Structure 1
Amino acid sequence: MRANVEELLKNYQDNKRKICFLHFRLQQFTETSDVEIIKELTLSTPQGERIISSFVADKTSTVALLYRDKTNERNEEIFRELYLQYRKKREEQELLEHGIDSLDPKLKGVLTDRFIHEMIWADIANKYYVSQSMVKKYCKKGIAELANLYESLAQG
Structure 2
Amino acid sequence: MRAEEVFREYHNMKKELSVLEFQLQQFKGVNEDDLITAMCFSHLEGDERVQTSSLSDKTAKAAINYKMVAEKENDEWYDFLWRRYQYLKEEIDFFEHGVQNLDGILADIMTDLLKGDMSWDDIQNQYCISRMMITRYRKKALDNLQNLYNLREQQVADYILG
The number of aligned residues is 146
Amino acid at match of 2:90: E
Equivalent in the alignment of 1:22: 20
Structure 2: state its 5+ residue gaps. 45-53, 156-162
Q: Does 1:117 align with 2:116?
A: yes
Counterparts of 2:43 and 2:72, CA distance in 1:
16
Tell me the secondary structure at the aligned position of residue 24 of structure 1: helix
| Deviation of the 1:117 alpha carbon | 3.3
Corresponding residue of 1:103: 102
2:151 paired residue number: 152
With normalisation by structure 1, the TM-score equals 0.81
Secondary structure of the structure 2 residue equivalent to 1:11:
helix
Distance, in Å, in 1 between the alignment partners of 2:40 and 2:62 is: 11
Unaligned 5+ runs, structure 1: 47-55
CA shift digits 1:39-97 (9 cap, x unpaired): 33234469xxxxxxxxx9xx888654421111111111111111111111111110100
Q: Which has the higher contact order (CA 8 A, sep 6+)?
A: 1
Is contact 1:12–1:116 with CA below 8 Å preserved after alignment?
A: no
Matches within 5 A, 1:1-156: 4-44=2-42, 63-156=62-155
Q: Which residue of 1 aligns with 2:50?
A: none
Q: Secondary structure at the match of 1:144?
A: helix
Instruction: Determine what percentage of the aligned residue pairs are the same residue.
Output: 32
Amino acid at match of 1:42: C
Q: Amino acid of the residue matched to residue 9 of structure 1? A: F
- Give the TM-score, by structure 2 length: 0.78
- Separation of aligned partners in 1, 2:120 and 2:31: 51
Deviations 1:17-59 (A, max 9, x none): 111111111111122122222233234469xxxxxxxxx9xx8
